[in-house]
Structure 1
Amino acid sequence: MISATAADYGWIRSPSSFFTYALEAGYTLTLVRGVSPAELLEVAGAEPQGVCEGLVELIEQHADILDGYEDSPESFLAGAFTVPGEGGDWTLALEFGGDLGTRPSIMEALSTGTRAVSHSSNGGKPMDFFHWYEDGELRTTFEWPTDRTGSTPDELNEVMREVGLHPTRDSDPNIDTKAAVFALTERLTGVQVTEELLAEAEYQTGNVPEAPVDEWESITVDITDAHGERTYVHVRRDQL
């Protein structure tokens, strides 16, 4: 029985840990059962970039890609490798400043017939998210443990309490909620993520294009003030 708790992931805050870069820059960590690293990158639409020997090299290659853009990056680097877990092999994918594990279209495709779990942070702000998919369906997702959505938002409540997250009240200030999310992910995957695992892995890499921005045709502004006065304006794109 997997008994991981937040205490098992205290290493993510160690000043000597390379994962501090992920927390500062923003990251997404995704785990998918029964899908190879090459298959995961293909589903994500990634352009293959070869292999990175360890986390330091992955970070360096990520930084090189960022240096190649004068403005906002048009793609981000994802690294993936195979790791044993519950029910067989899983692929762990790690990226900095990207959103592979948070795009519904990618996660639905990756989790078809299997399970996929991801968690992320956008860095300094921060906004932190957790996603659990089962057979193409988003089962539970949250930014704050008390504000869950998905098709089964309450199914993980008991295990959330066990790892240190509180689904019905504010979390214990003495519990590192990010470490607790790592533990929750281990409970769902059987994959124990350690500093050594990330540091020494051989990452198969690919450049994932940024998600296209949806075109818009119009916007609506609908505001009611404290006196009940309503302002309603509909503006077409060709009017701007």
Structure 2
Amino acid sequence: MNSVTAHDYAWIRNSPLFDHLLEWGYTLTFIRGRSPHGLLRAVDAEPRGTGEGTAGLAEAEAAHREEVDGDEWEDSYVVGAFDTPGEKGDWTVVLGFDGGLGLPGVEKLSEGGRVVVHSSNSGKPIHLFDWYEDGVLRTSFEGPSARHGSSPDELVPLLREVGFPVTPEGEHDENAPDVDRFDRKAAVLALTERLTGVRVTESLLRDATYELGLVPEQLAEK
């Protein structure tokens, strides 16, 4: 049984990569049941070749920003996708320096599989977590004591195990051990690993070969 907790992800606070993600805003999506190529096709992404590591992904996003310079309403962005082993087979991991916009049509992407997403925007920090199962949003939250979805309380035991300061009823627990030193982002990464089996490390994201795609502002009608 996977026993990972927030403590296993304490390294993110000394990570230049995560500093960059939090500064610029990001979405990290984990998808079971779709290949990187199939996922990018499903979101109508325009192929942009491959990128070596997060440096290559950032270069592709910067090049796109130059293309649309001056268009303040431009919400398209470049994402990178790669596959990695996890629970019940391979998962596709998708990273975007997208300001927390996220992939379009995530509910549909989860049909027949599972999707786990966490993100941060680049303004006043909003940190979101979403778990989808077979086309349904099961649990979503910004703060873990204010959950919604079709089964908002299902993850409460896992929330407590990975380190979120919540009571058995899912309320905020001000008396939880280490509550003053609680690292919500580290706990979210631990929760994500519990649901996907994918251990995120700096090298996993930094050194992957990404299949790149330009995600449009909205999906085409089909």
Q: TM-score under structure 1 normalisation? A: 0.83
Aligned to 1:197: 204
Retained in 2: the 8 A contact 1:83–1:90?
yes
Q: Which amino acid aligns with 1:78?
A: V
Retained in 1: the 8 A contact 2:77–2:96?
yes
Aligned to 1:75: 76
Aligned to 1:99: 101
How far apart are 1:170 and its partner, in Å? 4.9
**Quick check: 1:162 aligned with 2:164?**
no
- Taking the aligned partners of 2:75 and 2:93, their CA distance within structure 1 comes to 23
**Quick check: 1:185 aligned with 2:177?**
no
Secondary structure of 2:186's aligned partner? helix
- Relative to structure 1, the CA distance from residue 74 to residue 107 in structure 2 (aligned partners, 3 Å threshold; closer, same or farther) is closer
Retained in 2: the 8 A contact 1:58–1:79?
yes
* Structure 2 unpaired stretches of 5+: none
- Relative to structure 1, the CA distance from residue 48 to residue 170 in structure 2 (aligned partners, 3 Å threshold; closer, same or farther) is farther
Aligned to 2:12: 12
How far apart are 1:8 and its partner, in Å? 1.3
How far apart are 1:71 and its partner, in Å? 2.6
Aligned length: 208
**Quick check: 1:54 aligned with 2:61?**
no
How far apart are 1:210 and its partner, in Å? 1.7
**Quick check: 1:119 aligned with 2:118?**
yes
- Taking the aligned partners of 1:143 and 1:74, their CA distance within structure 2 comes to 22
How far apart are 1:11 and its partner, in Å? 2.3
Q: Which amino acid aligns with 2:71?
A: D
Secondary structure of 1:18's aligned partner? helix
Retained in 2: the 8 A contact 1:28–1:99?
yes
Q: Which has the larger share of strand?
A: 1
How far apart are 1:96 and its partner, in Å? 1.0
Retained in 1: the 8 A contact 2:112–2:135?
yes
Retained in 2: the 8 A contact 1:30–1:94?
yes
State which drifts further: 201-210 or 3-12: 3-12
- Relative to structure 1, the CA distance from residue 49 to residue 60 in structure 2 (aligned partners, 3 Å threshold; closer, same or farther) is same
Retained in 1: the 8 A contact 2:45–2:216?
yes
Aligned to 1:141: 140
Larger Rg: 1
Q: TM-score under structure 2 normalisation? A: 0.89
**Quick check: 1:26 aligned with 2:29?**
no
Higher relative contact order (CA 8 A, sep 6+): 2
